[in-house]
A = this chain, B = another copy of it.
Amino acid sequence: MVELKQIKDLSHDSPSKIVLLVIDGMGGLPHPKTGKTELESAKKPNLDKIAKESICGLTDPVGQGITPGSAAGHLAIFGYDPIKYIVGRGIIEALGIGLELRASDIAARGNFCTIDDQGIITDRRAGRILTEKGVELCRLLNEIKFEEIEMVTAPVKEHRFVLILRGEGLSPELTDSDPQRVGLSSKKIEALSPQAVRTAGIANEFVTQAKGRLSGEDSANMVLLRGFSRHPEIPSISDIYKLNPAAIAVYPMYRGLASLLGMEILPAGNNISDEIESLGRHYTDYDFFFIHFKSTDSRGEDGDFDGKIRAIEELDNALPSLLNLNPDVLIVTGDHSTPATLAMHSWHPVPFMLCSEWCRPDSVVEFSERACLEGGLGRFPAIEIMPLAMANALKLDKFGA
C-alpha cells in the first residue's frame, strides 16, 4: 500500500478542483418488507445521473467487519490510516463543540453524575440533566483555579462536558476516573508514564474540588472523567497533497476535525442548500472542498428508515447547483454505514462514486450499495480515496523511474 509520505512526494499543485461530498452514515441495509435499502428506496435522479458518468465502488473505512467511529471514518476518507492516527475522545468532544485547542492542551470527556453519601455512583449520567443545567454547573466548576495552569470546562449536551487543561509540561497519559459502572466509586486518576505524574495530581485535585463545589446540588453532585487526550500530531492536508482545502459542515464536530487537518472552515448555514451556496461563493478561493451532510446518519441512528430516505432526497434536490459548478473531480461517498434497521453505525462497506473527465466510467447507472458492487473500483480501502481524487485531478506525478 502506498503511504502518505509517498503521496506527499508525488503530489503537486494545479488549478483543478476537487469536491468531496460526504453523506454521513450513507450505507444501509434492506428494509425487511421491501428488500430495498434506504438508497435503493429514495428518489434521487441527480445521484443516479452522477453514477452514470462515474466510476463506482464500495469502500471499507477501516476493514471488513470493523465499525468506524465518526473520526476514524473521516480520517480514512482524507487518506489518514485510522489505525495509525488516533484522535482521543476528549479531543473529539472538544472539537465537537468547536473549542479551539492548542497543540499542548489536554482534553477529557466529562460526565456530571450522582453519588450517594458513601461516594458510590448512583447514576453515571445524573438522569441526563438538561443542557441548561450543564451550562450552570460548568460555570460553577470554572471558579476552580490552579496556580501554574489554566483550566476550563465547557458544556456539551445534557450531562456531558469537556475539561481542558492548558499549560507547560502536561501529559494526557492518564487513566480514567470513570469506572463505567454504577455501584462503584470514582477512581483515582493514575499517571501512565513518569511525565504524567504532575498532570494526574492536577486532574485529581480538579475532581476533589469539583466534588466540593457540586456538593450542594440536587441534580448532579460529582464528575467523572475519561479519554484524556491531546491534539494528535498529524500532517496537514496542504502539507501532504499541496492542496488549499476548505470544509463546509453544519455540525461542529466535523468542522473541528477538518480544522485539525488544516482545512479552512467556511460558513455552512443550516442545511445542504446553504452549504452548496457557500461552496459556490468560495469556489474560486480553494482547490479542495469537503462538504459534510449529517441527516442521513442522524435518521439512521434514530432507526428512522423513511426519515433517512427523505434526507437522501433532500440532498439529491440540492445537487443541481453543485453540479453547475462542474468540478474537475466530484466524489460522493460516506464515512461509514448507518443502517436504519440497526439504528447505529455499522461495518458494512460504503457506496462510492468519482466523476471526472479521466475516471474511466463503468456500467453502473444507479447509486446504491448493490449497484456499486458492480463498479469499476471494486471494493477498496477508504484511505485510497485521496490518491484516486488526486490522480483524477491530474495532481499526482508518476511513481518510480
Which A positions have Cβ atoms within 8 angstroms of B? 1-3, 6, 10, 29-30, 37, 58, 62-72, 75, 82-83, 86-89, 91-92, 227, 339, 341-342, 344-349, 358, 360-363, 369-370, 373-374, 376-380, 384, 386-392, 396-401
Contacts and interface: CB of A to CB of B under 8 A. Distances in A.
Contact of A69 (B37, B67, B377, B398): B398
Contacts of A30: 360-361
A131 to B, nearest CB: 21
B29 A387 contact: no
B68 A400 contact: yes
A63 B2 contact: yes
Given A29-B358, A83-B2, A358-B342, A396 B363 contact: no
A131 B397 CA distance: 27
A40 to B, nearest CB: 11
A362 B75 CA distance: 28
Most buried by B among A62, A347, A384: A347
Residues of A contacting B: mostly: loop
B358 A398 contact: no
Given A68-B398, A91-B401, A378-B379, 14 more contacts: A2-B83, A10-B66, A62-B400, A66-B387, A66-B391, A69-B399, A69-B400, A87-B400, A92-B401, A339-B358, A345-B398, A348-B360, A363-B373, A369-B376
- What is the oligomeric copy number? 2
A211 to B, nearest CB: 27
Given A69-B400, A398-B345, A401-B88, A388 B82 contact: no
A361 B369 CA distance: 10
Contacts of A392: 65
A30 to B, nearest CB: 7
Contacts of A58: 378
Given A29-B360, A361-B30, A66 B370 contact: no
Nearest to A337: B360
Contacts of A87: 400-401
A390 B347 CA distance: 11
B65 A400 contact: no
Nearest to A386: B65
Contact of A384 (B6, B63, B75, B398): B63
A65 B378 contact: no
Contacts of A386: 65
The 3 closest A-B pairs by CB, nearest first: A65-B387, A72-B400, A65-B391
A346 B391 CA distance: 8
13 contacts: A2-B62, A2-B83, A30-B360, A64-B377, A64-B384, A66-B391, A67-B399, A68-B398, A71-B400, A349-B376, A362-B373, A373-B376, A377-B379
A65 B373 contact: no
Most buried by B among A10, A66, A386, A400: A400
A118 to B, nearest CB: 30
Nearest to A392: B65
A401 B62 CA distance: 13
A336 to B, nearest CB: 9
Contacts of A391: 65-67, 346-347
Contacts of A396: 65-67, 347
B398 A64 contact: no
Contacts of A69: 398-401
A83 B380 CA distance: 19
A300 B70 CA distance: 43
A1 B63 contact: yes
A29 to B, nearest CB: 5
A392 B386 CA distance: 29
